[in-house]
Amino acid sequence: MGLSNTYKVLINNQDVFAKLESKPLSMTITDERDFVSDRAEITINNAQNITVPSKDAEVTIFINDTLMGRYKITSISLSSDNGYTLTIQCSGVDFKNKFKTKKYRKFTKENGNNTLGIILDTIASSNEYKHIISDTLKNEVIDDMIQNDETDLQFLNKLAKKFNASLKVNNSTIMLVERAKHNLPTININRKDITSFSMSADNLYNFQSVLVQYQDISNGGTKEITVGSGHPQYKIKTIYKSLEMAQKIAYKKLKELSQRKYEISLIIDGNEYIQAESVFKLSNIHDLIDGSWSVDIATHNLNDNGFVTSIKAVSL
């Protein structure tokens, strides 16, 4: 599969390569779980006839007619290799200034705005962003929280960690979803699709219980509860404002810690549908790895040799 037949790059909505002899030598697109900026790098040879785009220009990339993402150019470099080689680096994060400004807000039961769904809607609307939240998260009630001299990003990231959720901001959309729980279809991968793989299992600590503290309103002191039994024991550092919230967080953490995690790295034939948080199923390969996996990092590489996808994933 030749590179020139598998991609389209628009810079400020213009297909800059369509009528030029110069084509990208290579293109790499990286999509990561959680709050890590999606990124792309495009390398072009014989670039002397190409109008160099400005920094902050918008870049839209398609592979096999599938939208891979929209980016902003962050850096441009030029070398004398291959009759002038131009390298364009891009970032998928498109923060507006308001999103990076520290703010003071109260989210409380008294104000009726202390569910994750309302909080996300409030923050997204104030920044003129769209938003997506898992149905299982939107009605989660939090203890009274104050966004005190924090950016919206910092505050949302704190909430995502508390509920073991994944936070992404891209294409002017804030996404807060349960890990590996979304509407993306499961992708089937067979042995013939795989160039290489390696798997490892990590269950070093094998925590048996979780200790968490909460504020006891009746006497103004702090109490602690344990979820599960035995050692080793994991201690949550945050002190919660109610027993109910402390128990909920502790149960979530124990469930997360008790699951034996397998990690796998694969290189497969190029698959543009693989992205962070997507789920794929391995079949008829080996008992240790057959089953469902959730993607942590997907890296798509296109060059003169074709199209391959590298994956780092965890077991479900």
What's the pLDDT band for 2 if we cut at 50, 70, 90?
Answer: very low
Q: Residue 53: which of 21, 91, 10 has the closest Cα? A: 10
pLDDT value for 1? 41
Q: pLDDT of 238-275, one tens digit each?
A: 888 888 889 988 988 888 787 667 899 999 999 999 99
If pLDDT is split at 50, 70 and 90, which confidence band does 204 have? low
Question: Which pTM does this prediction carry?
Answer: 0.75
HSE (CB half, 13 Å, CA atoms) of 304? 5
Report residue 177's pLDDT band, with 50, 70 and 90 as the boundaries: confident
Q: Does domain 187-203+261-315 have CATH number 2.40.30.150?
A: yes
Q: Which residue's structure tokens are 């693989």? A: 274
Q: Which amino acid is at 149?
A: D
The position carrying tokens 């990590």 is 202
Please state, rounded to an integer, the average pLDDT across all residues of the chain: 86
Least Cα distance to 276 among 4, 92, 43 occurs for 92
Backbone angles phi, psi at 42, to 5 degrees: -120, 125
Residues 6+ apart with CB under 8 A from 287: none
Q: What is the mean pLDDT of residues 155-168?
A: 86
Classified as helix, coil or strand, 246 is: helix
Average pLDDT (143-154) is 88
Nearest CA to 301 out of 47, 60, 63, 36 is that of: 63
The class of domain 3-91 in CATH terms is: mainly beta
Q: How does residue 95 score in pLDDT terms, banded at 50, 70 and 90?
A: low
